[in-house]
Amino acid sequence: MKTKDHSVASSSSSSSQGAPVDTQLRAVAKQFLCCTPVRTIQWNELLEGLTWEAQERLLDATVDHPLVLRYPLSIEYQVAFLKRLLTDLAAMNVEPHDRMYERYCAMMQAPPPTDLPLDDPSIGLSYKHYELPQGQGVISLKESGAFVSDGTTGLCSWQAAKALCEHISNNRDDFQGRNILELGSGVGLAGIYLAKCFEPSIIVMSDCHSSVLGALRDNVQLNFPNAATVDCDNPLVSLLLDSGNTLIGVMELDWQCVSASNLSQLIEPDVIVAADIVYDHTLFPALLTTLNYIFCLSNNRCKFVLACTERNQDTLSEFLQLLITAKFRINEESISPSRHFHWDSSASNIRIFTISRS
């Protein structure tokens, strides 16, 4: 028969492998908060012999975390997480905490959000919370759990954006105090990370899709609640905030509609960044025109940091070849494993390039 273990796990208590339970617990909570697929969560023996009190702390740090209660992760994800916990604890003959069952049942019974209007772009959007290194807080993003929703790939954060965040962390001098423009920002992970942790002088995040721009604006405002709104006479800039050291903008910039007149209203960036924008070769001419305009604007003094997911070798090669033909220089960077920013660096198809032109 299973017995309830009500013993108190102090913060110095250890798992069977000797690592402090609190350290393991924080590591699991960090993965939970940004919706790391449940099957890939690194539990690091946390579940073995998890005491009743440690289970409470695990719930407090995950499904009952104040941030999650206020800005919920997708219910499907939370259900999958609790189901995995309940199954594994049962298999280890550890009695799950009553609260774990209660939360699981309540979530299973939660009515699907069918009363939302069908054209509401927030359908299918929930929150993910990305913990920042060195206690710098959290980035909370409203995003989709699906790779494609509302006809766009821009409503979720992609691996290349996470790899770019790690790259930025390892090259902070290239970004601090700079004027930065992000292309194809999506819901804003890399741009908001830059704005929060690296104090650029200006960061303008851009995209072309109306739902994406809406989510991007909401996410910027959510992560900079105390920043002052600044008036801007550029009609393409729909949000401009002053966070103290950094101006943070959201701009509509469709590579297919770029002209000298609308780009002349842009900041002159020192650095352009982009993640996962090289996947559709029909967009390459427009993207190249956009890059040409921006590089000309800065007399070729800017550089472009591009993080790609190589899904198809030919597609990426085609784009790189177009850059070479347009006299850009390409330097491939090494991929940094996850150290500052949590991401799955075992994905071997991420490539990062620094692109310049003299």
Q: Which residues bind ligand SAM (CB under 6 A)?
A: 152-154, 157-158, 160-161, 184-186, 189, 207-209, 212, 253-256, 275-277, 283, 286
Q: Which is nearer to ligand SAM, 21 or 306 (CB)?
A: 306
**Smaller CB distance to ligand SAM: residue 106 or 326?**
326
Give the whole-angstrom CA distance, residue 211 versus residue 144.
11
Q: Which of 343, 287, 347 is nearest to 315 (CA)?
A: 287
Closest Cα to residue 326, out of 298, 287, 352? 287
Kindly tell me which of 148 and 230 has the beta carbon lying closer to ligand SAM: 148
* Residue pointed to by tokens 């929060």: 196
- Closest CB to ligand SAM among 189 and 320? 189
Give the nearest distance from C-beta 337 to ligand SAM in angstroms: 19
- Residue placing its CB nearer to ligand SAM in the complex, 158 or 224: 158
**Alpha carbon distance, N-terminus to C-terminus of the chain:** 74
229: CB partners within 8 A, 6+ apart = 239, 240, 241, 242
* C-alpha–C-alpha distance, residues 284 and 11, integer Å: 53
Name the strand (E) or helix (H) holding 274: strand 271-275
List Cα–Cα distances, 42 to 29, 47, 161, 345, in angstroms. Answer: 10, 11, 21, 14
Place of tokens 């650029």: 200
Which residues in 99-253 belong to E strands, given as ranges? 125-131, 138-144, 179-183, 202-207, 228-229, 237-242, 247-252
By C-beta, is 15 or 153 nearer to ligand SAM?
153
Residue in 183, 353, 154, 149 with CA at minimum distance from that of residue 255: 183
CB nearer to ligand SAM: pick between 50 and 192: 192
Minimum distance, C-beta of residue 108 to ligand SAM, in the bound complex (Å): 31
Q: Smallest gap, in angstroms, from Cβ of residue 254 to ligand SAM?
A: 4
* Residue closest to ligand SAM, measured at CB: 154
Cβ 286 to ligand SAM, closest distance in Å? 6
| Cβ contact 160:350 at 8 Å | yes
- For ligand SAM, the closer CB: 186 or 200: 186
Count Cα neighbours of 143 within 13 Å in the Cβ-side half-sphere: 25
Whether the CB-CB separation of 308 and 4 falls below 8 Å is answered with no
Minimal distance, residue 207 CB to ligand SAM, in Å = 5
**Comparison of 244 and 285: residue with beta carbon closer to ligand SAM:** 285
Would you say 175 and 194 are in contact if contact means Cβ atoms under 8 Å apart?
yes
